[in-house]
Amino acid sequence: MDIQWICAVTTILAWFCTGSSGHQTSVEPPRNLQIIDPGLLGHLCIEWQPPPSLLTLDQCTIKYKLKYRSTGDADWKVVFTKKLKYGVGFDLSKRTEAKVQTLLEGRCTNESEVKSDWTHATFQLPSQGDLESQIRDLHCVYYDWEHLTCTWQLGRLAPPGARYEFYYWYEGLDHAVQCDDYRQTHGRNTGCNLQNLRQAEYTDFNVCVNGSSESTWLRPSYFTFHLQNLVKPSPPEKLSVSISASEEVHVEWSPPAGGTPPHCLDYESVSTQVETAFTFSQSNRSHVACVRVRGKTNVFCADKGFWSEWTRECFYVSRKDEKQLFLLIAVVLSFLTIVIIFILAAQRKKRTNGEKNRSPTSLYLE
């Protein structure tokens, strides 16, 4: 093609694009949008390149508006960035969609914002293995902020000889790591223990449980959670109960030793009467009450957590109705005493009166 002709067309196009005023009124979308899986069990990289015609625009700022979601999500997540890539976590068992557009603003657009069309991309892992071979009921607990234990049930249709494997990744590891301390049931992996995960708190913790048998692949399962939301603390320690002279019960305890930060705990305390649970060889003047205390991560440290086990301390208290009975007896006794005193006093008075006007008649009457 004739080079002069191309130049002419380009000039005319540029004139159209920038408008007669010399201001940019349109911009091209980014190129080569890609969603890349670096093998981090759900952390995907969304990348693109700038539109080709932006080389001469030094008076304008170029930004990108990125939207992404998984199939089934109602809403798109939106990000504005000047960079050309963005990393974010997805559920790899779903399809991922992303779209990006160029935003131009500055002197070259007379300070108004110019937007391009959208560029789209999708990503989905090739599906592998029978759906029924997938593990079930993954359950993870982060004990005392120290060690993580995850357990699962085998797939409903796990082929004979199926071997399940647990992989995990969090920001700071350069690749997914396999569990090195499996829990087993009948020789099959059904759980994993992990330690030293301080660095993995407050960030995405990605897990994949996949596997294979001699004949086939097993369907992998993907999970993303935050460790601080899975904490189960140890029960509180040194629970002690004291009863003051005014019969007020004072309960005291210490936070559990171990990795749980004391400021991260909320406590719950209940007292129960367990009269029927014990028999006593001594007199039954008192009965038994128990105080139970347990702890859980509070809202300052996590969105949720598991309750610790209960700590229990029992003590004797005197029974209320016994006290009332005692009071009643005291009242009745004092009343009787007064009555007797009156009777005695009356008799004595009578006797002195009798002695004063003693007569044969009265003598006779006595």
Ligand X SMILES: *[C@@H]1O[C@H](CO)[C@@H](O)[C@H](O)[C@H]1NC(C)=O
279 binds ligand X (CB under 6 A): yes
Instruction: Give whole-number Cα distances, 121 to 20, 128, 300, in Å.
Output: 35, 22, 39
AA letter at 53: S
Whether 242 contacts 250, CB under 8 Å: yes
Min CB(50)–ligand X separation in Å:
25
Judged by CB under 6 A, how many residues of this single chain contact ligand X? 16
Pick the closer one to ligand X by CB: 280 or 326.
Answer: 280
Pick the closer one to ligand X by CB: 191 or 255.
Answer: 191
Q: Which of 210, 221, 228, 311 lies at the binding interface for ligand X (CB under 6 A)?
A: 210
Min CB(332)–ligand X separation in Å:
23
21 binds ligand X (CB under 6 A): yes
208 binds ligand X (CB under 6 A): yes
20 binds ligand X (CB under 6 A): no
Q: Which of 4, 184, 283, 352 lies at the binding interface for ligand X (CB under 6 A)?
A: 283
25 binds ligand X (CB under 6 A): no
Min CB(24)–ligand X separation in Å:
11
Min CB(276)–ligand X separation in Å:
8
Place of tokens 């009124």: 25
Site for ligand X in 30-49 (CB under 6 A): 39
Min CB(211)–ligand X separation in Å:
5
Q: Which of 29, 42, 211, 256 lies at the binding interface for ligand X (CB under 6 A)?
A: 211
Give the largest Cα separation in the chain, rounded.
168
Torsion (CA) 243, 246, 248, 251 in degrees, nearest 10: -40
Pick the closer one to ligand X by CB: 110 or 203.
Answer: 110
Whether 206 contacts 166, CB under 8 Å: no
Whether 209 contacts 221, CB under 8 Å: yes
167 binds ligand X (CB under 6 A): yes
From the list 57-65, 209-217, 250-258, 291-299, the region that binds ligand X by CB under 6 A is 209-217
Min CB(144)–ligand X separation in Å:
28
The continuous run of DSSP H or E covering 335 comes out as helix 320-356
Min CB(39)–ligand X separation in Å:
5
Using the Cα atoms of residue 345, residue 351, residue 356 and residue 362 in order, give the sign of their dihedral. positive
Nearest to 176 by CA among 151, 210, 226, 144: 210
Pick the closer one to ligand X by CB: 209 or 265.
Answer: 209
Written as one string, the DSSP assignment of 119-164 is EEEEE-PPP-SBGGGS-EEEEEEEETTTEEEEEEEPPTTPPTT-EE
Pick the closer one to ligand X by CB: 283 or 359.
Answer: 283
Site string for ligand X, 326-365 (x = CB under 6 A): ----------------------------------------
Q: Which of 61, 216, 284, 318 lies at the binding interface for ligand X (CB under 6 A)?
A: 284
Distance CA 118, CA 328 (A): 88
**Strand-strand pairing, 311-318 and 147-153:** unpaired
Pick the closer one to ligand X by CB: 68 or 168.
Answer: 168
> 97 forms bridges with which residues in the sheet?
69, 122
Written as one string, the DSSP assignment of 77-105 is EEEEESSSEEEEE--TTS-EEEEEEEEEE
Nearest to 200 by CA among 141, 247, 248, 145: 145
- Contact residues for ligand X, defined by CB under 6 A: 21, 23, 39, 110, 165, 167, 176, 208, 210-212, 217, 279-280, 283-284
